[in-house]
Structures are given as structure tokens and as C-alpha cells.
Amino acid sequence: MSEWKDLTNFFRGRSFWMLHYCTGCGAMELPPTMTSRWDMERFGVIPMATPRQADILLVTGYLSLKSLKRLIYTYEQMHAPKWVLGFGSCTINGGVYWDSYNVIERLDKYLPVDLYIAGCMPRPEAILDSFKKLRELVEKGEAKGYEKYVKNYEWYKANQDRVLKRTKPVLQKPEEVTRSA
Amino acid sequence: MDTKKNALAPLSALKYLFKKPHTVRYPKEDLDVFEKEGVSPRYRGFHTNDHSKCIGCGNCASVCPASAITMVEADDVKPANKFAKTYRPVIDYGRCCFCGQCVDVCPTGSLQMSREYIHSFHPDVSIPPEEEPEKVKEDFIWRPDQTYANNPGYVRTPDDLLGKTIEFERTDPREEPADKRKFSFAKFVHTYSKEEAKKEATRCLGCGACVEACPNQLHIPEYIRSIAEEDPEDSLKWIYKRNPLPLVCGEVCTHQCEEACVVGIQGEPLAIRWLKAYSASNVENYLEVVEEKMEKPNGKKLAAIGAGPASLSFGYYTKLLGYDVTIYEAEDKPGGAMMWGIPKYRLPKEDLMKDINTILSLGIKLKTNTKIGKDMPFDKLLKDYDAVFIGTGNSKPMTLRIPGEELPGVMQGLTFMHLVNEEKAPDLKGKRLIVIGGGNVAMDVARSSIRLGAEVTVIYRRRIADMPADPEEIKEAREEGVEFVEAGVPLKIYGEKSVEALEYAIASLVPDPNGGRPRPVVDENSPHKKVKVDYVVAAIGQHPNLDFLPEDIQEKIGFDGRRVPVDDFGRTSVEGLFFGGDLSNKRQDIISAIGAGLRAAKGVDMYLASRK
Amino acid sequence: MELRPLNESNTNDKYKTYELFIGPNHPGISGNFSYVLDMEGHKIANVTADPGLLHRGFEKLMERRLWTQNLALIPRICVPEPDVNEVAYCMGVEHLAGIEVPKRAQYIRVIVLEMARIAAYLFSFSGVGGATGLYTAPNWAIGDRDYILDLFEWLTGGRVYHIYQYPGGVKMDIPDGWLDKLSELLDYLESRLPEYDNLIFKNPILQKRTKGVGYLSAEDAIENGITGPNLRASGVKWDIRKAQPYLVYDELDFDIPETGDGDAFSRFVQRRLEMEESIKILRQCIKQIPDGPYREKIPNPFQFRVPAGTYYSKVESSKGEFGYFIVSNGDIKPYRVYVRGPSYSAGLYYALEAMKNMRIEDVPVWIHSMDICPPDFDR
Amino acid sequence: MLESVEKKVEELKRMNLEAKALGDWQFEVLVPRERTAEILAYMKATGYKTFIHLACVDWIDDQEFELVYNLENYDEKAQALVKVRIPRNKPEMESMMSIWGLCQVYEREIHEFFGINFIGNPNLKPFFLDEWLDIPPLRKDFDTLAFSQELFEFKEDESHGIKAPKRIEYK
């Protein structure tokens, strides 16, 4: 049975279909990575338009609250096994937008991240390196963020709800806020 | 451009089938673009930091737009110089945006960027999600060191200083040329103009290295910032918080702060002293601007002996606290060493009086021509007042202890300066004068004598570089024509009625094994020299004179003839007796004395509050 | 100008009218941005724009940071062409602070801007290819763009975010041999242009997909605040570089190409022609660039105060007028900065009009022909 | 300065408005709120046909919002910044949609970021932000750092896990 698993992991690691969902500015280095100069297809990674067919979710940088919501939908639509790559500083600890009111601070509070890549933004070489690293992890059966998500679903859900389903103002300011519907 | 439809045109792309692809092989293969292998020679990758150069000033942390840098105290590094701190930048690569601004503002050039950029981290599945930040932190926050130093990228080279953000060149105030100023006692360094002051003030990085170097910890970054905002009044407000003699310090301070200034490591330090002088001389009435709140009089009486900087500062701050202060001065004018020791070309007397009068105008009583011990017994003071502060400074000059010292024409430095300041100095025109010593007093004597028309030689027992005087003073004295003799040890003064000649030996300098100043040694092989001379002024240091104190008190406070041991607040083992200024300070300059006065003011307040 | 026949829709049939989300995750849309389309069969009945997926609150963040700290932040506003942000911001600050920029720095800025323009146009070629199914085009265009990025990397130390401008000039001088490499690259790009023509613009499929799509009249363009190549493709000869020359554009000789049809195809062709002009400008810069300082000295970041005032500085970017409205109150931080992204009016307002009655398959073509870049209006 | 700019500034001054040139090709004009529609329509009729942007500045010390209508004239190569001040405690303004349809989106944006109500604009629904409940974020009294610390649960001094050195406090 374990040989069978090894074999599936071997093939999985060689045919990553990544969701071409460009969330932040890290998306700018993906076209060079995808096309002829760096050509990630050599490593079996190709862009895929729909979440249901994808294996890797690239979070290419910062996530605004609005796109975090959509990202979570997208992640939950994907079939296991699935992996999340966090690109650049913004996903690790907020990056240059650390004090922004609309950008989340740490991605790992809301989704399980399998690999963080340093850089702002990471160069194509760093991206390719991370794909290779992910392949090694998958072959060894170590990258199991999706299992972690299922196991700790309540924890992730609570964090997601905290930022996405607010019912009262975050800063309790006495002033009346006038807004029309 | 021809945009005619042509179904065959796209097929021309087929020729690329047989061309060599320009795909980069697996990561980090040479791009074949740049001179050096790999990425751009100016690439902004992970940082490197040379810990032997880093001074821990924290400018990188303050400039970081992503707040990625924290300064952390490191116990495994040595401070790079005597003012340096052992804080080192720790960089969070979960924040860093690789903009390179930290490299631009690093005053030492120790923080640089390498061409390394690949780093990734995989959190193990067994780590619970709530503990993951801890693991990620361990991996993405590190203290840069020399690991990547062999692959430098974006660095600041010494020959490319202009391209970066720090301005390394100082704006000097206008100065009279040496050949003009040596005939006049007028102040030769002009105060900054508004533009000059602003230009100089905008060089400040605001790191506060100067604050720790200042013996009195003035709010230096704050007052410089106010000058940059073209607000000398706000600037003075900041100065007055810890220094009631702004113009004096602006003109004659020993400016430790400038030695510590981080801009000075690769360039010229900020002219902090001149900036202070600028803000003080641009305010007519200090008290209107400062708006210090004075407490209600609390009925307690304090006495201060000696109207020098320590007592004036003590008087000012205790007066603000509501005490009734009386200052006793033996001379006819207040100011002490500032009045009698410092020549007019450095500190015009009207500038000094502007500061002193401001302090006295608060309602501090000044009793001049009252020498304690002679005109008034000390015991009476102790009895009449709640506390007594003694800031009489060093008034007993050290003697040469060589034959011929008692001859007329041999003078002590301070006595000579007193005469000069009283304008009662002997006529020196065309006379030869030798100054013995290498401190600031020696320089004052030498330069004053030059102005009085003498030919001046300074004899010092070590090298010029070892002189305790300010390097600037030495430089300016040389410009004005003062001769220097290194390693000269005076042996004998010849003369019948008055001084005629001086004999000195050239000592050999034995280096100090601990790295201190070398020791001059005179033996029988040392060459002897004899020069003709009309006056000899010995400026080799002074000692405190506490003769007016009863002997039992002298013993009780532990006075050893040189210094009175006191605690942080000027307290001694005798209750109600406080000391400050050169009497008790390690550094003997005006700003330390002011600091001592301020601390003693606090000490008195604490003492009287506890006695209640 | 003719619209393709549409099927008469039967509004009673609930499967005929439906809501369709295009974006944020859609290969046809550029960037992370979304339109909600009310569809009647293949025909679009109504459009709602849903921006904000890339909103980072730049304008707020900039108020919190020092004038020069912001230079690290602003390139991220328009990712495909970051340099226009830096130059426009620096020009605004320099105007307010009264800083004279040395000639050499101005030339370097023009070189950087034009290189960025070419890179952005190449990037838009890849968008055209992606939208119409010509997958060779992205491979070529992005590959060629990378050569420009290599030069940028050499010059500035960063591939995409250069952080190279500084109030008063540029951060570093041009390295030795860089200009030679640039003119080699220009030769190469020029030799590639006919091949792009063959591959993309003469291609009957592309012409069929783009000709007559998204017609924009000159009046509409002016009324709706559409600028840049899109405006010029509608026949309005307006180019800030010519009309209100900044930097040293008045010393350089170039034309505004005319296509003037106003449809998607002419907008593509407009960009392709302007690329030639950019190459022309760059060649002149290489020849004319003077020696001298590349930077005027300014106070250090902690003490750099900009005198109080307001100014609107603008730069002609590859997408249109990129403007910075800067308000200073004399402090070390900006009081307010408003960023006018060129895609704002087209992407958020004009799109709602233009896409009505369009067929669904034309939407990506329209979006890419207008070169809509969501980060610049999301900010 | 361009001649057209100079002329326009003079012309506006004759209309009892405060106008001044800001650069070679741009000028600003301060307009009272009740005359905004009139002046904007006038500007449009006299060649300032392109609406570039509508920005808002929060002058919290004056308790006022300043709306800046940026218009461009392609024929005269000039740019106009039309500035209107409205009180901060009653943030209301007439919509300029009838002059430029484009104003609709800008007004919607400003409504979201500054909380200004535009009378006559039918669509002031949330735009860039989802479910915003706090003070409109671009107002000066909104503290973005405190907000993000609260919402995303991080503390600035602890975020690096290391204690930052404190500057010595003096007196």
C-alpha cells in the first residue's frame, strides 16, 4: 500500500496544475515564469483556470479582505490533495502593507500554507525553486496542509469569520458614523 | 505599418522551431546578462551586516517603510567605538520589501544587501496552526551578518556617497581668517544664518546617539528638528529643559555630542554646538519663549556657593521648584570660570551676561564680593539655609615644581586669563611667552597672548595628538601662529629679576601597553634645550580649593584634594550639603557642571521632601 | 461599424437571463477584478463593476509615511509599469519643494519611462494574445519584455519594483556599458516588430475578433475621461509628452501615431505604433544624454519637509494619464496624496456603458484593448 | 505659464472667485458650494471637457472637507483644479452627475472613503470595501494601524517577538 502511495505522490509531484489566480503584485512575476524565459512547464506546472482542476493555489502576495473571502471559496472548491503557496513578504507577516486597514496580516491564520517564499516579490528563480521544493515535499508525503485544514477547521473558520463577518465596528469610536445604505 | 490580413503571416513564427531557446535552466543559472555571474550586480537581496562596523544607531529601523527592522541588544558583539551601542538590526523578511532605504541611511555603511534571494519555509503538518507563527518567525526573522557578504549586491561605496540619502558635508559657519582674527578679541566664528542653520539641521538623522554622549543628556534631536522647522523658539524650549545656559554652551561647549554623531563616521559630524548657538542668539527674551512653569514659593531657603555654571544651573532649577535661592560669589561678577577663564574671542561677555541675567531675573539673589570663610562663616550658611550647594570649581592651580618658579613673569594659566579678561594683562607686544600644558586653558592662554602681540610657544610633554584640548582649538591656534613643542618637559627657569630663559628636555615617549596615552620619560640621554623667554605661563591643571570648609566637614565628605565623591544627585555624607561642578565631576567642563547642578537640584528637592 | 446580429431573447425563459460573474478569477480578465454581467443569452444586458479586490489603502498608508519612505510603496500601485508612479510622485514633490533636477537625471528618467512603456506595451501584447487565443504571443512578448527587465535590474537592482527615482533625480548613475546594451536591445526589439506584425496584427483570426469591437468615438472618450493610447486611437491627438512636456520630452523628436478608428483593433495597433516612437525616443536619449550629476542633493528622509501647497503632477503612461494629486502641509509626511489611475474611468464607469449589448466573448478583447489595470484604480 | 491659463485665471477672478496658477499649465479655483454646479458647467462649456478625477482632502483642523474636481482642456492644454469646501460635521454635497456621468463612480468612492453624502447620486452602495462599519477609512481621525492591530490581532511591539530597545527617557 505504501508503495502505491509513493507512486501516486511521485506522479502528483510532477504534474502540478496551479490555479492562475493572481491575488497580489506577485502575479507580475508569474507570466515570465510561465512563458519561455523560465518555462515552468518543464517542471510539470501549468496554469489552470478553474479551482476544481487545480492542485496548487498560489497566493501571490497581499490579500485584501474582499479577495480573502473569494480565496477561501476558491480553496474550498479545490479537491484534495491541494497545496497553498504563500508568495512574498505580504503572506508571511503583512509585508509593506502591515498597517493597512484592508490587507490581512498573516495568511496562515486563514488558510494552511504549505510553503512560504521570501521576497518582495520573489524572482522567477525563487518561484521555480519553490516548485521544486514542493515537489520534494509532496514526494515524501510531507506537504499535507489540506489535512491540517480539515483537522483544525474550527480554528481556521473562527479566524475567517472574525475578519469577514464583522457585526460591529472594530474600533469602538463614540462618533456616529453616517452612511446611507 | 501594414495591417493587411495575411493568413500566412503568422506561420513565419515557425522559423523559431530551429532556434536555440533562451530559457534559463534550473534556478540560479547564469543569466549571461551581467558582468558578474548571476543576477544584477546591484541586486537588492537579503541583507548583510558588518557587526564590527555597526554602531547600533537604529536609523535603519526608523526609516524602514515596512517596519521590518527591530534593534535588538546583542551580547556577542563589541561596540564599534566608545559611543556605539550593541544593538543590532534584526530583519523580518515577512515585512521587508527590499527597497534598500535602510542601506541608504546606514551612517557607517555596515548594512548592505547581497545578491542572495532564495529562501522558503515549509511548516510541518504536525505543528498546530496556532503555533505556526512562532515557527515561521524563527525562519523569516534573522539578524543579518556576514554570511552573504561574499556576494554583495546593493551596497554603498565610499566614492558614491552623493547618490545616497545622508548629507555628509558640514555647513561651516562663516569664520574670520586667521591673519585677521589674531589681532582682535572679537568673536571670530559667526552665528549661522537662517539658511545655513536649516541646511545644517536637516542633516540630522534623529537617532539620538548624541544624547547619550552628552554629559547632561540634552534633547538634541528634538531641538535640531525644531531648527529644521525654522522654529528657533521651540528649539530653545527643548534646550532649556536641561540647560539654562544655551548661548554659553552654544559657543564654548566641549561638544562630546559631535564626537558621537553618527554622520561623523563616514563624513563630518553635525555642528550641534553652532546650532544651539543659532537658536539661542535668535531669541531675544528667553523666558518669554520658554514658558517654564514656576512652582509656588515653598518658603525653603537654599544657598549656592560660587556663581559658576553648576550653581547657576542649580539655582535655576531649584527656583523653578519654588525654592528661595541665594548665590554667593567671591568675585564682583558672576560666571566663575565662564567669566574669568574663557577669553572674549570665544565667548563675548555680553553673550554670557544674557544667559546669566535670564537666570537671575527669575528672582535668584546674587551676593557678589562675598567670600565664604572670609566675609561670611560657613557654619552660618549651614544654619541659615535648608540646604547648601557648593560649586566653587577648581580654583587652585597646580604648580610646575621646578626651580625658578617663584620669579616674576611666571604665571599660572587661570591667573593669566583672569588678568586678560579684566584687561589688566601685562604688555606682551613683541615679548616671548611660553605656555606649558596642553589643555584648553593652555590654548586659551596661547591664543590670548597672540592677540596681545606676543610670540607664543606651547610646550607639551606628549604628542600634539595626545593633547586634551579640542583638536579644533589646536588647529586654530596653529593657524594663528602658535608654535608647538612636543614631548617637552620643563626643567628650570633662569632669570635674576624676572624670567630670562627656560630649559626643557625632549622626553622619549614610552607607549602605554594598555593603549592609553604614552608616558614621557626623561633620562640622561634626553636632549636639553634652553630658550630665551620673557614670560612663562603654566597651564597644567587646577585643583579644587575647599579651604573655607571646616576640616571635620572636609574629612567627612571624603575630599581627597582633587575631587569630592558624590552620588548621582550631588549628595554627600553630610546632610544638606550638596556638591557639583568641577569639584565632583569626572569630566571638567561647563556642560557637565550644568548637569551636576541640575541633578543636585533634584537631589535637594528629594532631600527636603523626605525631611518633611 | 456594425454590430453582429444577436439572437432575439425570450425574457420569459429563466435560462435565457442570468447573472454571470466574470472575474475575479478568470483568465480573460486582467488582474484581480470583477464584473457582474446580467446576461440575456449571449448578449450582455447590464454590467456592474466590483472593484476593491486589490484595495490596500495606499492613500492612507502614504499619509503615515515619510515623503521618501513612500517611494518604496508607490511602485506597487501600477504593477505592469511601476516607474510612472515613482516619476510622477517625484515630479510633484520636486515642484512643491522647488528642486531643480539635473539634466542628466531628466534624461535617465525619460529612458526609464520609455523602457517601462515598451515593457508595458509588450505586456499588453501578451494580453491580446491571451484574450484571443494566440498563445505564442504571450511567450514572445513576455520573453522580450524580460530583456528589458534585465536592463532595469542592472540599472536599478530590482526586476519589477525599481525604487530608483528619488526627489531631485535618480538614486544611482547609469553603469558602464549599460547604454550600449540598451541600444543593442533596441536593435533587437526593432527587428522583432515585423515578426509581431506577422504573428498578431496581420493574423486574420485576431482581426476578425477585434475589428469593430468596442467602438469608442472621440466625443465619448473625452466625455468619459479616457486618456492615453485609447484616446489617441479614437482620433484625439492628445499626448501629455507633447502637449505639456515634462522632463526633456520637448528636446526629443517623436510623433503621435494616428490610427483613429476607435475600435479594439485600432487600439492594439496604436500601441504597436507607439512602441516604435518609444524606440525612437530612446535612441535619441542615448545619443543626447549629457554628463553631469544625476541627482540634486536633498535633506535626509527624516528631515525632508515639503513646503505647504497642492500640485497635480502627471505622466503619460502606457495606459493614459497617471496623476498624483499631492497636498502638503509642510510636514515630513504628505498630508494627502490622491492617485489618479488611468484605468479608473474606463474600467469602472465607461465599461458599464460600453459592454452593454456586447457579446460575452468580446469582453476579454474589450478589457485588454482598453488595457485595464485593476491595481491602479483599486489602490 | 501658459497664456490660456493666465487668461482663465483672470476670467475666474472677474467672476468673484479665488483663482491662482499652480504651475505652467494648471491652476486652482476655490468655489463656494452653492456655485459648484454652475462653475463646473461653465468650465465644461468653455473647453474643460475632460473630467480627470474627484479627490477629497480631510482638513480636520479646519473641520472641513475639500473636494477637488480636476478638469482638463485638451485644446488649451490647461488643467483646472476646482476646489469646494464643505463642513465636516454635515458632509453633504450635490452630485455633479448631470454634468459628467463619470462623477457617479467618483462620488461613490468618496462616499465610501470619507462618508460624504452626494445628494442626487442614486448609487452610493459600498464599492471598494466590503461591509465597512467603522469611520470611513480615509478620514484623518481613522487610525489604520490601530484598526489593523485590532482586527488582525497583532501587536506592533510584539510582532517581531523581540523587545525593541527603548530610547532613554529624559526628565
Between CA A41 and CA B174 the distance in angstroms is: 69
**For the residues C103-109, what does the mean pLDDT come to?**
90
Considering only CA atoms, which of B579, B582, B586, B583 is closest in space to residue B600? B579
Angle between the B272-281 and B194-201 helix axes, to the nearest 10 degrees? 140
Quickly state the pLDDT bin for D162 (edges 50, 70, 90).
Answer: very low
Residues of D in contact with C93 (CB under 8 A): none
Considering only CA atoms, which of B116, B113, B75, B71 is closest in space to residue B91? B71
User: What's the grid cell of residue B442?
Assistant: 593652555
Q: What confidence score (pLDDT) does residue B161 get?
A: 57
What number of CA atoms fall less than 13 Å from residue A149's CA on the CB side?
Answer: 24
pLDDT in tens, B89-130: 888 888 888 888 888 888 888 888 888 888 888 888 778 887
User: What's the grid cell of residue C161?
Assistant: 519594483
Considering only CA atoms, which of C335, C94, C378 is closest in space to residue D66? C335
The domain at B178-290 falls in which architecture?
Orthogonal Bundle (1.10)
Quickly state the pLDDT bin for D166 (edges 50, 70, 90).
Answer: very low
Flag whether D168 is in a domain. Answer: no
Q: What confidence score (pLDDT) does residue B6 get?
A: 78
Instruction: Please judge whether D127 and C224 are an interchain contact, meaning their C-beta atoms are less than 8 angstroms apart.
Output: no
Q: What is the DSSP string of C98-151?
A: TPPPPHHHHHHHHHHHHHHHHHHHHHHHHHHHHHHT-THHHHHHHHHHHHHHHH
Q: What confidence score (pLDDT) does residue D164 get?
A: 41
Flag whether D64 is in a domain. Answer: yes
Flag whether D169 is in a domain. Answer: no
Q: Is the pLDDT of residue C5 over 50?
A: no
CATH of the domain at D128: 3.30.460.80
DSSP D51: E
Flag whether D157 is in a domain. Answer: no
User: What's the grid cell of residue B508?
Assistant: 622619549
Q: Is residue C338 helix, strand or coil? A: strand
Count: domains in chain C: 2
Residue span of the structural domain in which A133 resides: 2-176
pLDDT in tens, C295-334: 887 778 888 888 888 999 989 888 888 889 999 988 888 9
Flag whether A57 is in a domain. Answer: yes
Between CA B469 and CA B437 the distance in angstroms is: 10
**Domain boundaries B399-510+518-540, CATH class:** alpha beta
- What is chain C's alpha carbon radius of gyration, rounded to the nearest angstrom? 21
Between CA C226 and CA B192 the distance in angstroms is: 53
CB of B10 within 8 Å of any CB in chain C? yes
Residue span of the structural domain in which C210 resides: 55-376
Count: domains in chain A: 1
Q: What confidence score (pLDDT) does residue B130 get?
A: 79
* Number of residues written out for chain A: 181
Structural element, H or E, at residue D67: strand D64-73
Residues of A in contact with C375 (CB under 8 A): 25
Quickly state the pLDDT bin for B39 (edges 50, 70, 90).
Answer: confident
pLDDT in tens, B421-463: 888 878 888 888 888 888 888 888 888 888 888 888 898 888 8
Considering only CA atoms, which of D143, D148, D171 is closest in space to residue D159? D148
Between CA D24 and CA D5 the distance in angstroms is: 8
- Across chain C, the runs of DSSP E, i.e. the strands, are 17-22, 34-40, 43-50, 165-166, 169-170, 309-316, 321-328, 336-340
DSSP C156: H
Phi, psi dihedrals of residue D70, rounded to the nearest 5°: -105, 115
Q: Find the range with the poorest average confidence among B111-120, B283-292, B533-542, D72-81.
A: B283-292
By CB neighbour count within 10 A (0-12 exposed, 13-18 middle, 19+ buried), where does B568 fall? Answer: exposed
Angle, CA of B502, B506 and B509, to the nearest 5°: 145
DSSP C218: H
- What is chain D's alpha carbon radius of gyration, rounded to the nearest angstrom? 21
**For the residues D23-41, what does the mean pLDDT come to?**
87
Question: Which of C312, C335, C348 is the closest to D79 by Cβ?
Answer: C312
Pick the CATH number of B25-166 from 3.40.50.40, 3.20.20.140, 3.30.70.20, 3.40.1190.10: 3.30.70.20
* Number of residues written out for chain C: 379
Q: Is the pLDDT of residue B558 over 60?
A: yes
Cβ atoms C367, C130 nearer than 8 A: no
- C61 and C95 in a single domain? The answer is yes
Q: What confidence score (pLDDT) does residue B358 get?
A: 85
Instruction: Please judge whether A101 and C57 are an interchain contact, meaning their C-beta atoms are less than 8 angstroms apart.
Output: yes
**For the residues D129-148, what does the mean pLDDT come to?**
83
Q: Is residue D60 helix, strand or coil? A: coil
Between CA B436 and CA B457 the distance in angstroms is: 9
State chain C's mean pLDDT as an integer. 85
User: What's the grid cell of residue D53?
Assistant: 478625477
Q: Is residue B90 helix, strand or coil? A: strand
Q: What confidence score (pLDDT) does residue B520 get?
A: 83
**Which chains have at least 3 CB atom pairs separated by less than 8 Å from chain B?**
A, C, D
Torsion of CA C283, C288, C293, C297, to 10 degrees: -70
Residues of B in contact with D165 (CB under 8 A): 58, 71-73, 85, 87
- Residue the block writes with cell 452610493: D124
Between CA A140 and CA D104 the distance in angstroms is: 56
- C25 and C149 in a single domain? The answer is no
User: What's the grid cell of residue B128?
Assistant: 498546530
pLDDT in tens, B138-163: 788 888 888 888 888 888 776 665 55
**Which chains have at least 3 CB atom pairs separated by less than 8 Å from chain D?**
A, B, C
Q: How far is CA B223 from CA B193, B197, B347, in A?
A: 17, 12, 22
Residues of D in contact with C222 (CB under 8 A): 49-50, 74
Q: Is the pLDDT of residue A180 over 60?
A: no
Between CA D100 and CA C69 the distance in angstroms is: 36
Question: Which of A95, A106, A124 is the closest to B66 by Cβ?
Answer: A95
Residues of C in contact with A25 (CB under 8 A): 76, 79, 160, 375
Same fold, B301-395+544-611 and B399-510+518-540: yes
The residue in chain C having the minimum alpha-carbon distance to the alpha carbon of residue D26 is: C312
Flag whether C236 is in a domain. Answer: yes
- C350 and C228 in a single domain? The answer is yes
Between CA B194 and CA B279 the distance in angstroms is: 10
**For the residues A12-41, what does the mean pLDDT come to?**
81
pLDDT in tens, B498-520: 888 888 888 888 887 877 788 88
State chain B's mean pLDDT as an integer. 83
Q: Give the mutation candidate from B3, B17, B160, B263 for the C interface (greatest C CB count, under 10 A).
A: B3
CB atoms within 10 A of CB C145: 24
Helix and strand counts by DSSP (H, E) for chain A: 7, 5
ipTM tops 0.95? no
Chain C: closest CA distance from residue D34 (Å): 23
Count: domains in chain D: 1
- C97 and C66 in a single domain? The answer is yes
**For the residues D15-36, what does the mean pLDDT come to?**
85
Flag whether C221 is in a domain. Answer: yes
Chain D: closest CA distance from residue A88 (Å): 17
Residue span of the structural domain in which D138 resides: 3-151
Residues of C in contact with B166 (CB under 8 A): 300
Q: Is the pLDDT of residue C7 over 60?
A: no
Residues of A in contact with C52 (CB under 8 A): 64, 66
Structural element, H or E, at residue C206: helix C204-210
Flag whether A99 is in a domain. Answer: yes
User: At CB < 8 Å, which residues of chain A contact D?
Assistant: 65-66, 69, 93-94, 98-106, 109, 162-164, 166-171, 173, 175, 177-181
Q: What confidence score (pLDDT) does residue C350 get?
A: 87
CATH code linked to domain B301-395+544-611: 3.50.50.60
Instruction: Please judge whether C25 and A74 are an interchain contact, meaning their C-beta atoms are less than 8 angstroms apart.
Output: yes
Q: Find the range with the poorest average confidence among A19-23, C152-156, D41-45.
A: A19-23
Query: Helices in B15-77 by DSSP H: which ranges?
Result: 59-63
Flag whether D161 is in a domain. Answer: no
Please give the share of chain C, as a percent, with pLDDT higher than 90.
7
Q: Is the pLDDT of residue D169 over 60?
A: no
**For the residues B540-568, what does the mean pLDDT come to?**
81
Between CA C324 and CA C58 the distance in angstroms is: 12
Flag whether A181 is in a domain. Answer: no
End-to-end CA distance of chain B: 98
CATH of the domain at C321: 1.10.645.10
- C150 and C43 in a single domain? The answer is no
User: What's the grid cell of residue B276?
Assistant: 544651539
pLDDT in tens, A82-103: 888 888 888 888 888 888 888 8
Q: Is the pLDDT of residue D160 over 70?
A: no
